[in-house]
Amino acid sequence: MTEGIADGRRLHRPAPAPEAMPRPLLSQRAEERLGPRHRQVLDQLEQLFLEEGFAGISVRELAANVGCSRRTLYELAPSKDELVLVVLDRFLHRVGRTALDAIDREQSHADCIRSYFRGGVELQRLSQTFAEDLADDPAARRLLDRHFRYVMAVTEELVAEGVAAGEFRQVSPAIVAGVLAGSGLYFNQVEITHPDPTDEMLDLVIRSILA
Contact in structure between 134 and 123 (CB atoms under 8 Å): no
The domain tally of the chain equals 1
Please write the tens of the pLDDT for every residue from 146-190: 998 999 999 999 999 999 999 999 999 999 999 988 876 665 555
CATH number of the domain bearing residue 72: 1.10.357.10
Decide if 1 is inside a domain: no
Contact in structure between 15 and 103 (CB atoms under 8 Å): yes
How many angstroms separate the CA atoms of 66 and 69, rounded? 9
Instruction: Determine which of 18-27, 105-114, 129-138 has the lowest per-residue pLDDT on average.
Output: 18-27
Decide if 146 is inside a domain: yes
Domain assignment of residue 87, given as a range? 18-209
Decide if 115 is inside a domain: yes
How many angstroms separate the CA atoms of 119 and 6, rounded? 27
Q: Which residues pair with 210 in a beta bridge?
A: 168
Which pLDDT score, from 0 to 100, does residue 130 have?
85
Please write the tens of the pLDDT for every residue from 57-68: 999 999 999 999
| Single-letter amino acid code for the residue at 184 | G
Decide if 93 is inside a domain: yes
Decide if 98 is inside a domain: yes
pTM of the model: 0.84
Decide if 107 is inside a domain: yes
Q: Give 94-116 as a DSSP string.
A: HHHHHHHHT--TTS-HHHHHHHH
Contact in structure between 88 and 24 (CB atoms under 8 Å): no
3-state SS assignment for residue 168 = strand
Decide if 187 is inside a domain: yes
How many angstroms separate the CA atoms of 106 and 90, rounded? 29
Decide if 158 is inside a domain: yes
